[in-house]
A and B are shown apart, each in its own frame.
Chain A
Amino acid sequence: MGKILELHDLRKYYATQKAVDDISFSIEAGSIFGLLGPNGAGKTTLLRMITGIFYPDSGRITFDGAPFDPLNDVVKIGYMPEERGLYKKMKIGDQALYLAQLKGLSRAEAMEKIKFWFRRLEMESWWNKKVEDLSKGMSQKLQFVTTVLHEPKLIILDEPFSGLDPLNANLIKDEIFGLAQRGSTVIFSTHRMEQVEEICDHIVLVNLGHKVLDGSVASVKQQFKENKFSIQLQDVPANLQHPAFIIESQKKNSFVMKINEGYKSNDILQHFLQQQVTIESFQEILPSLNEIFIKLVEGSKATTRAFQPVTD
């Protein structure tokens, strides 16, 4: 599979800040891609450039192998922004129909697809209701349907689970997996790291308008691992001292150990095996994305950035 989207040296400066400052990355077609970053990191600006709402000050965007042409390519993109809403007084069916037609579907096509999705997500009875009668979670579901209705090649979801109960969140999550399986690429932007870990194949972390991390979830975790292992032994052995590791914490017969420079995990195992201690479990502790996120963003003054003047 090729790249669906490539960003080259993208820049967008506002009067008071460099929202996006020289960001490049690419996204594999058919993957689920996580775009992460603290508040005000430039994610929304980046997404708005990818959806053709903003033009970059400099840099190139390649979409599906050709230079990005907002006018024609937007129909291949489905964007669910973080700040999203619907016409309150409009009927739900009409609303979905209108949004689908704006994406270039004919009335008949749109009708057919809406019926399909409404049936699938058990929303058929909503057709003649107005948006103002819906709960937040329900309108979220409707938002999702209108985003993916036209079967876009690229689906961009900004905080798609906010306001959803676990049941509906799972429903949407399954749909996201399904869409990716059927060949759509999903860009997923959120602050909820456990969701990213669960869903995404590849992530990019932006902070202060720069890209600070880029890689698959597994490789990122490898990159930030601290060589820690948890080990559970049947008995507490007499000799816990060994140059290969230091014990970070102990809870009865379970330990968290850090391997010292120059040693491998097998050295620990060997040490205990030699002492005839039964090893009940042995597992590497990989950092969670949450920890990596906090580690990278903390202390970068990300929160105060919005009020810094541009100096260059």
Chain B
Amino acid sequence: MNKIILVAQREFLTRVQKKTFLLTTIGVPLIIFAFYAAIIYFSIKTTDHFTVAVTDKGNIFNGKIDEKKSSEVIFTFVNDDTAALRTQLESGKFDAYLYVPATFSANSGDSLQFRSKKTVGLMTREKIQNRISKALEEKRLLSMNISKAQLDSIQEEKEYITFASTSGKTENQAKVGVSYAVGMISGFMIYIILFIYGAQVMRGVAEEKVNRIAEVIVSSVKPFQLMLGKITGIGAVGLVQFIIWAVLIFGIQLAVPLLFPGIAEQMQSQPIQPGAMGAANAVKQSGALNGLMAGLSEVNFPLIIGCFIFYFLGGYFTYAALFAAVGSATNEDPQDAQSLMLPIMMPIIFSIVIMMQAVNNPNGSIAVFGSLFPLTSPIVMMARIAHGIPDGVTVFQLILSMVFLVIGFMATTWMAAKIYRTGILMYGKKVSWKEMWKWAFKKG
């Protein structure tokens, strides 16, 4: 036991002391943050105005196109003919013109002429199109004797059905959405952890073998202790890295509103879904935000975080042993590892497929199977647990899954240790899965 700690300590310290560790641990969140900051900064910063001259011979806009504050597209109404507009456009008085002929009717299939000097950017084009078509739409509705208010009241989403489980709790629509997102994100996080740190274990073992230090170490430490120490050390690095990331991301989230006080309003004033529903959306948005908050408050975070740590560790230990076994079977040629890794990657990728199902249908038979089977449960169970107990998963199934995972971890570690013991001292030979299988199950 003491030796496992010694090995783990070395693994942990050599990794943490590397410059790349600092770079990835602190650098990555900072880069992401800087990237977002840049995007936000530039989206606020755009002061370039795009002026459009509108000649409304058909009088379809009533001299007004819905103006939005801080919009970069400005419509000015003029009364010139196309030739005059063209010369003014050439002289640079405005950036584009829109000509509405007198015969234009919103209800017929006529289209309007929009001429610009330079090519109009995609974003600007979309904004212009949205606002003009919205104005035209209103016109068409009025011609059919439907007022805007009437339309809004029809389009307003009403909940005709209330979904509730037998437990009697009413399910908030937003809560299901939040559960979906939480399940998805935590599932994917475990998926990434398994790959990143699993691969690190594999590379570490292969390095020890290629450097020929394995036999030196194994003469003072049992191979099993060496393997477990390595896995523990790298797992600790992963845990520390994740905690630092979590702290940094949380800190940055707090810092952003302080650094950019205008951001919150800016974000809300920008329509997410342009279209006929634009106006209605703005109203609904704040409602959705409240719903989201309500949904978040209903998610059982202590349970999810607890389970996340359990399945993170359980999944990591289960797979890390397998990755170590593959690492021990590789030689100087890193290509060997590629083909040997495939059978380990399959269940991980398969887990993601099942997880996609499970977030939608946490009690489907595939989801239940996936959340119990130890090779897929770390990822799949996160999707189910996000829906809470007992809606997503029963206490019994959760405990069963945890027990299976612990058994699975012991089984893979036991098997991997035997492969590792033989593989780590086997030089110059290309090893197949068939041979590794033999090593794992031979006696002694």
Contacts and interface: CB of A to CB of B under 8 A. Distances in A.
Interface stretch (A23-31, A73-81, A180-188): A73-81
A74 B213 contact: no
B277 interface: no
Contacts of A75: 220
Interface in B1-18: 3, 6-7, 10, 14
A79 B215 CA distance: 9
A172 B425 CA distance: 26
A98 interface: yes
B254 interface: no
A243 interface: no
B342 to A, nearest CB: 25
Interface string B202-228: 000000100111011111111100000
A246 B354 CA distance: 90
Interface string B161-186: 00000000000000000000000000
A51 B427 CA distance: 19
A75 B220 CA distance: 7
A124 interface: no
B343 interface: no
B215 A102 contact: no
Contacts of B425: 48, 53, 83
B222 A71 contact: yes
A83 B219 contact: no
Contact of B10 (A52, A81, A98): A98
B313 to A, nearest CB: 26
Contact of A81 (B3, B215, B438): B215
Contacts, number: 61
B302 interface: no
Contacts of A52: 219
Nearest to A78: B219
A87 B215 contact: no
Contacts of B211: 85-88
Interface string A76-104: 01011101111111100000001101110
Given A57-B444, A102-B6, A87 B221 contact: no
Nearest to A131: B211
State which size class the interface on B falls in.
20 to 34
A90 B211 CA distance: 12
Nearest to A50: B219
Nearest to A97: B10
A85 B216 contact: yes
A55 B444 contact: yes
A90 B215 CA distance: 17
Interface string A52-73: 1101010000000000001100
A89 B15 CA distance: 11
Contact of B14 (A15, A86, A89, A143): A89
A85 B3 CA distance: 20
Interface string B372-415: 00000000000000000000000000000000000000000000
A85 B217 contact: no
Contacts of A146: 216
A102 B218 contact: no
B212 A83 contact: yes
B206 to A, nearest CB: 13
Contacts of B223: 53
Nearest to B435: A15
A98 B6 contact: yes
B6 A53 contact: no
A90 B9 CA distance: 14
A162 to B, nearest CB: 13
Interface of A: 15, 48, 51-53, 55, 57, 70-71, 74-75, 77, 79-81, 83-90, 98-99, 101-103, 143, 146
Given A51-B219, A81-B215, 13 more contacts: A15-B438, A74-B220, A79-B215, A80-B216, A83-B425, A84-B215, A87-B213, A88-B211, A98-B6, A101-B6, A102-B3, A102-B7, A103-B220
Closest 6 CB pairs of A and B: A85-B212, A79-B219, A85-B211, A81-B215, A102-B220, A85-B213
12 contacts: A55-B444, A77-B219, A80-B216, A81-B216, A83-B215, A83-B427, A85-B212, A87-B208, A99-B220, A102-B6, A102-B220, A146-B216
